[in-house]
């Protein structure tokens, strides 16, 4: 269970937390299963915090530093993490619906089995992240950086992913049904066993990618000829 002093501190807002942090730079906040719904912690330093099972619905954490924090099983629905530092966070099994991750640094994060539906993830940095069995359906991931990620059995139904970089990712069993993924990069990506039924992959680069008869591309789609680039590109 959470440290109640830490819960009270987090509930008091960014100024109180920042003041406490100046005198306690190395203390890791224990907020396990805390109810922090609607809390304002924008711009604060709560890195390596214990937030297992915490309720962070509608919380404001834009530009906060949560690097290395444990958010397994937490509920982040409708929260704002825009431009936050979330490298190495653990969101395994978390509920992450309708969350703002615009330009957020989530490099090396674990989101195994997380529900990440209808999120704003434009330009999010997920390099090297583990997204195994997660569900990103209907999320906006335009120009997201997904290089070297593990997307085994990950769902991207109806997601908007134009301009995303998925190079060198492993996506065996990934499902991109109805996804919009134009002008994207798939260099040296393993798409064996992935499904792209009714997805749009126009002008995407599959150079050195791996696919076989277990890969389901859209009808009449040729990964070696995905269409001409725009005149101004």
Residue 228 confidence (pLDDT): 58
Which long-range CB contacts under 8 A does 13-17 form with residues at least 24 apart? 13/39, 13/40, 13/41, 14/40, 14/41, 14/42, 14/43, 14/44, 17/41, 17/44, 17/45, 17/46
pLDDT for 120 equals 98
| Sites in the chain below the pLDDT cut of 50 | 230-233
Give 190's Cβ-side CA count (13 Å radius). Answer: 12
Q: Quick one: tokens of 204?
A: 């995407």
The token pair at 163 is 């301009």
- Can you give the pTM of this predicted structure? 0.93
Q: What is the pLDDT of residue 217?
A: 97
Q: What is the pLDDT of residue 1?
A: 85
Whole-number pLDDT of residue 226: 80
Under 8 Å between Cβ of 175 and 195:
yes
For residue range 49-101, list pLDDT tens digits in order: 999 999 999 999 999 999 999 999 999 999 999 999 999 999 999 999 999 99
Pairwise CA distance, residues 50 & 187, whole Å? 37
Residue 165 and residue 142: Cα distance in Å, rounded?
9
């Amino acid at each position: 269970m959470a440290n109640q002093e830490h819960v009270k501190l987090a509930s008091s807002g960014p100024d109180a937390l920042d003041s406490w942090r100046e005198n306690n730079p190395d203390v890791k906040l224990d907020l396990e299963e805390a109810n922090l719904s609607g809390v304002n912690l924008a711009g604060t330093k709560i890195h390596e915090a214990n937030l297992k099972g915490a309720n962070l619905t509608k919380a404001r954490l834009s530009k906060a530093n949560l690097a290395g924090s444990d958010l397994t099983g937490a509920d982040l629905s409708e929260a704002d993490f825009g431009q936050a530092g979330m490298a190495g966070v653990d969101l395994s099994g978390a509920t992450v619906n309708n969350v703002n991750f615009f330009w957020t640094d989530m490099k090396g994060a674990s989101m195994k089995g997380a529900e990440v539906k209808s999120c704003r993830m434009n330009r999010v940095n997920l390099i090297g992240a583990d997204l195994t069995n997660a569900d990103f359906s209907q999320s906006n991931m335009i120009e997201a950086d997904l290089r070297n990620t593990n997307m085994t059995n990950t769902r991207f139904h109806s997601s908007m992913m134009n301009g995303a970089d998925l190079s060198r990712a492993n996506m065996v069993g990934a499902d991109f049904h109805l996804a919009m993924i134009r002008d994207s990069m798939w260099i040296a990506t393993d798409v064996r066993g992935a499904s792209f039924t009714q997805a749009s992959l126009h002008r995407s680069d599959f150079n050195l990618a791996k696919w076989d008869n277990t890969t389901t591309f859209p009808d009449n789609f040729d990964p070696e000829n995905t269409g001409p680039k725009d005149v101004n590109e």
